Amino acid sequence: MTPQPHPRAGAAVKAADRAHVFHSWSAQELIDPLAVAGAEGSYFWDYDGKRYLDFSSGLVYTNIGYQHPKVVAAIQEQAATMTTFAPAFAVEARSEAARLIAERTPGDLDKIFFTNAGADAVEHAVRMARLHTGRPKVLSAYRSYHGGTQQAVNLTGDPRRWASDSGTAGVVHFWAPFLYRSRFYAETEEQECARALEHLETTIAFEGPATVAAIVLETIPGTAGIMLPPAGYLAGVREICDKYGIVFVLDEVMAGFGRTGTWFAADLYDVVPDLMTFAKGVNSGYVPLGGVAISGEIAATFAERPYPGGLTYSGHPLACAAAVATLTVMEEEGIVEHAARLGTDVVGPALRELAERHPSVGEVRGTGMFWALELVRNRETREPLVPYNASGQAATPMSAFAASAKAHGVWPFVNMNRTHVVPPCNISEAELKEGLAVLDTALSVADEYT
């Protein structure tokens, strides 16, 4: 996989992109997307032959890296036999993918509704919860991301909601626990947990328990900063949901399928939701696929009453064949265990060591291949290195940090004042150490702003 330089081809790709591609989350004239010539394993490269180690796994989805030969072969084979078939039919790739997913999801989440991606999985989970309970409202956390479609963006807690929020539309936000920036004046994880649960229950009491259909939470909030919930929090939410007859939805679109060093983040906390959304890692994003894993009780609601919702491409055979191959490869190659071991033995200790030497590192948190460094101007006051709602495009200390990492061959995940260490779950130990050494160099750039 030695990349060959093709600068002229790269220029043509960039010119057509600039003329005709309308990019997500961007001011169109202020961006300069890299033209990517190829990708393999944990690396991708541009047309000048410059190679990058992908510490972002795309948008945190290439859990088995790029171009895994067995998954590519499975897609080719499916394309040769049955590229597509409508959702109302039983199709081998679809039923096999559903079986493999249901076998791995916790508890009795045994029915799988397939969607095209994460946001529409969240939309359908909310619809199922509303129909199951007959109640209108949905509670979700500030500091969350649930997707870019309308209901999902309303549920999202982070500033990306602001421009397109259609008013609350039955959505009520609450504060989930996050000790480093506690909203509850807590000094210990135990206090944070107890007060966050009390806050949630009080919110429900004032909203009217009989009006609340669902609580939607990322098991570990991802885009918002990889905040691991304190021990007991998710079990406490489960209890609250049971007490008031509220559907508990865990969003595992980013945290699921090995990212946390377990099949699902819910496994770390021994909690079973009523509905669980997934996408991304289910097939490493080789073909778009998402879904909702549904409990027996909620599935029973739609046993003799039709579920009013569907998608043309629900359970697309090509995407499902990629999922079957991905899950098989993850099992055969022990990728989940690998992510757990490298997280505990390599990433955690390395990031904590970086935090000791770099004054810009405010906090290190994570598990498996799911880590965040929160960067600050001042460790005492915890003032973020960039404001909470900083635009992704303006030149900031974070963009200087990212530019340094890229110049040294690592593509970082940067959001607001954080960089996330989220490489493919099957990255080798040597590649991981190479990337962590580059972060060390790039953090020296961030330190200049402290």
Binding flag, residue 420, ligand PMP (CB under 6 A) = no
Binding flag, residue 122, ligand PMP (CB under 6 A) = yes
Question: Smallest distance, Å, CB 264 to ligand PMP?
Answer: 12
At residue 333, what is the residue type?
Answer: E
Cβ proximity to ligand PMP, 3 vs 281, nearer residue: 281
Question: Smallest distance, Å, CB 67 to ligand PMP?
Answer: 20
- Three-state DSSP class for residue 73: helix
Among 218, 274, 363, 374, binds ligand PMP (CB under 6 A): 218
Tell me which H or E stretch contains 402: helix 397-407
Binding flag, residue 438, ligand PMP (CB under 6 A) = no
The number of beta carbons lying within 10 Å of the beta carbon of residue 68 is 23
Binding segment (CB under 6 A) for ligand PMP, from list 124-132, 141-149, 308-316, 333-341: 141-149
Cα radius of gyration (the chain): 22
Question: What are the beta bridge partners of residue 16?
Answer: none
Binding flag, residue 222, ligand PMP (CB under 6 A) = yes
At residue 219, what is the residue type?
Answer: T
Q: Is the dihedral of CA 105, 106, 110, 114 positive or negative?
A: negative
Binding flag, residue 147, ligand PMP (CB under 6 A) = yes
DSSP structure class, residue 66: B
Binding flag, residue 223, ligand PMP (CB under 6 A) = yes
Binding flag, residue 253, ligand PMP (CB under 6 A) = yes
Binding segment (CB under 6 A) for ligand PMP, from list 140-148, 296-304, 326-334, 348-356: 140-148
Give Cβ neighbours of residue 43 (< 8 Å, ≥ 6 apart).
1, 51, 52, 53, 54, 66
Binding segment (CB under 6 A) for ligand PMP, from list 23-31, 246-254, 367-375, 406-414: 246-254
Measured distance between the N- and C-terminal CA atoms of the chain, rounded to whole angstroms: 40
The residues in 366-405 that bind ligand PMP, with binding defined as CB under 6 A, are: none
At residue 270, what is the residue type?
Answer: D
User: Is 384 within 8 Å of 377 (Cβ atoms)?
Assistant: yes
Which has the closest alpha carbon to 254: 367, 362, 355, 164? 367
Cβ proximity to ligand PMP, 290 vs 435, nearer residue: 290
Backbone angles phi, psi at 344, to 5 degrees: -75, -45
Cβ proximity to ligand PMP, 106 vs 147, nearer residue: 147
Binding segment (CB under 6 A) for ligand PMP, from list 50-58, 66-74, 143-151, 409-417: 143-151
Among 117, 125, 369, 438, binds ligand PMP (CB under 6 A): 117
Binding flag, residue 145, ligand PMP (CB under 6 A) = yes
Cβ proximity to ligand PMP, 59 vs 346, nearer residue: 59
Question: Smallest distance, Å, CB 117 to ligand PMP?
Answer: 3
Binding flag, residue 186, ligand PMP (CB under 6 A) = no
Question: Smallest distance, Å, CB 236 to ligand PMP?
Answer: 21
User: How far apart (Å, rounded) are the C-alpha atoms in residues 323 and 383?
Assistant: 42
Binding flag, residue 217, ligand PMP (CB under 6 A) = no
Cβ proximity to ligand PMP, 122 vs 398, nearer residue: 122
Among 39, 109, 119, 321, binds ligand PMP (CB under 6 A): 119
Binding flag, residue 123, ligand PMP (CB under 6 A) = no
Cβ proximity to ligand PMP, 416 vs 438, nearer residue: 416
Burial of 27 (0-12, 13-18, 19+ CB in 10 A): exposed
The residues in 56-95 that bind ligand PMP, with binding defined as CB under 6 A, are: 59
Give how far Cα 67 sits from Cα of 38, 64, 342, 357, 424, Å: 10, 9, 22, 37, 12
Residue 67, both tokens = 């171009």
User: How far apart (Å, rounded) are the C-alpha atoms in residues 42 and 196?
Assistant: 38
Which has the closest alpha carbon to 321: 277, 282, 280, 276? 282
Q: Which residues lie near ligand PMP (CB under 6 A)?
A: 59, 117-119, 122, 145-147, 218, 222-223, 251, 253-254, 279, 290
